[in-house]
Amino acid sequence: MTKVRVAGFSISLDGFGAGPEQSLENPLGKRGQELHQWMFGTRMFRAMTGKDGGSDGVDGAYARRSMDGFGAFILGRNMFGPIRGPWPDESWKGWWGDNPPYHAPTFVLTHHPRDPIEMDGGTTFIFVTDGIEGALEKAELAAKGGDVKIGGGVETVRQYLCAGLIDELHFALSPVVLGQGEAMFAGQRSATASPNIRRPITPPTSFSADRGIPKG
């Protein structure tokens, strides 16, 4: 059965999943890269960026799991790029170059229509204008039995969490205090279910959670 999952999502000690002021120079916001230091040295991340070597410890295992088993992905528009408003042209194709790391249908939430983009390696970006539930319905069909990953950014994860649509949630808690940025838990009092902590891991500081009620 297809699950809707958040996996390997890094947050700071004070609950921020990205820094402020996203830009071409700072795709994750200012100081946002500090949240992901646990992953950068893993074999999975180095291979994904065309490099040899890397660690295979607990961090490596969770880095692999953060991308394994998914048949489709859902991204917010900010996760896809820094452009706001109507698409000025078709030139922007994501942060990742010609071969993005998804290798599966990847649905981008937006208010502005755009034709799908087929990339190298099996990734196709599909732009969805009918909201989070419409994107999830399309992604579940495209996943063909695999899981659907809510890949971010923070606002997209928060929307799915508040709507009670996430089955499994894994945060990597980074030993960083940002002080400002995109707050993961803003407005979470409106969530329809509280997660049950399933698998605390030390080290690194990391935890998984399952939703307390079945979806639907």
Is the link from the previous residue into 86 a cis peptide, with omega within 30 of 0?
no
Q: What are the sequence ranges of the domains in the chain?
A: 4-17+70-174+183-211
89/117 Cα distance (integer angstroms): 13
Phi, psi at residue 105, to the nearest 5°? -55, 130
- In this structure, the number of other CB atoms found within 10 A of the CB of residue 44 comes to 23
Q: What is the mean pLDDT of each run of 10 residues along the chain (216 residues)?
A: 94 95 92 94 87 90 92 96 93 94 97 97 97 98 97 95 93 94 79 49 50 42
pLDDT digits (tens, 9 = 90+) for 131-182: 999 999 999 999 999 999 999 999 999 999 999 999 999 999 999 999 999 9
- Rounded to two decimals, the pTM is 0.87
Q: What is the 3-state secondary structure (H, E, C) of 151-163?
A: EECHHHHHHHHHC
CATH class of 4-17+70-174+183-211: alpha beta
Instruction: Say which residue the tokens 């958040």 belong to.
Output: 6
